[in-house]
Amino acid sequence: MNSPTASRTALVTGASSGIGAAVAAELVRRGYRVYGTSRDPESVTEPVPGVEYLALDLADEESVRACAAAAGDVDVLVNNAGESQSGPFEELPPEAVERLFRINVFGAVRLTQLVLPGMRARRYGRVVMVGSMLASFPLAYRSSYVASKAALKGFANALRREVSPYGVGVTTVEPGSINTGISERRTQYLREGSPFADEYRTMLEALNANEARGISAGTVARTIARAVEADRPRPFHAVGSNAPVVFALRRLFPRSVILRMVARKHGL
């Protein structure tokens, strides 16, 4: 008997490495036809077996449209691609913040808009927004990144009720500290002579150490796959960084206490 997922097509953005590559591999293993995206598919050094790569630059509207057209009818969309950014709020260049939102938010939103009509017409679809636990537990010197992930979750929360009558499930997955090497790819902004330099570097050292000790991308991928295959998808999943405990604490303690706890965890 054929797998019920054998006729399903998934599109996973940012599938050349990290969480995206792990999600793509997990969905292939479960029988999906999988498209993965990369800004330059020819440069993917370790392609995931069974994945067909499509070009996608989330900051470019035409690229987003071309990717959606190339993928065709998509049953599962995993909005994973994004940029990690850090720096003192005062010192973030406006053009860098705008680029971050184009990639992390507006590109993902536009791609979702383009695939939703087909999902709605077929009365089946799954959309997963890969966010960050920092959207729930904000951290100093990560303001632009925190805001972008919070915006993505806001879109998902509002969209969910609109599309659920048509068999489309929308889920946000918030990973905590993940060992994917993202610390080496994070864009950073710190002016020479910045009054924030010492505290910023303290935060960054703790952040990198936490990520080095974090859970694997495969663990996140399995959470995302379960969200995709649930008959009634949950609105939200958090994974890593002792998520069950920290979310329980957030319900028990005032927000000011939780924010101090987050700061202390990062040496602030």
Q: What are phi and psi of 179, to 5 degrees?
A: -90, 85
User: Residues 6 or more apart from 164 whose CB is under 8 A from it?
Assistant: 170
Q: Are 165 and 125 in contact (CB under 8 A)?
A: no
Q: Which of 35, 53, 141, 145 is catalytic?
A: 145
**Which residues lie across from 143 on neighbouring strands?**
none
Q: What are phi and psi of 177, to 5 degrees?
A: -75, 120
Burial per residue of 213-224, b for 16 or more beta-carbon CB atoms within 10 angstroms, e otherwise = ebbebebbbebb
Task: Sheet with 9-12: list strands edge to edge.
Answer: 51-55, 33-38, 9-12, 76-79, 125-130, 168-175, 236-239
Task: Please name which of 197, 178, 194 lies closest in space to residue 186, comparing C-alpha atoms.
Answer: 178
Active site residue 189: no
Catalytic residue numbers read: 145
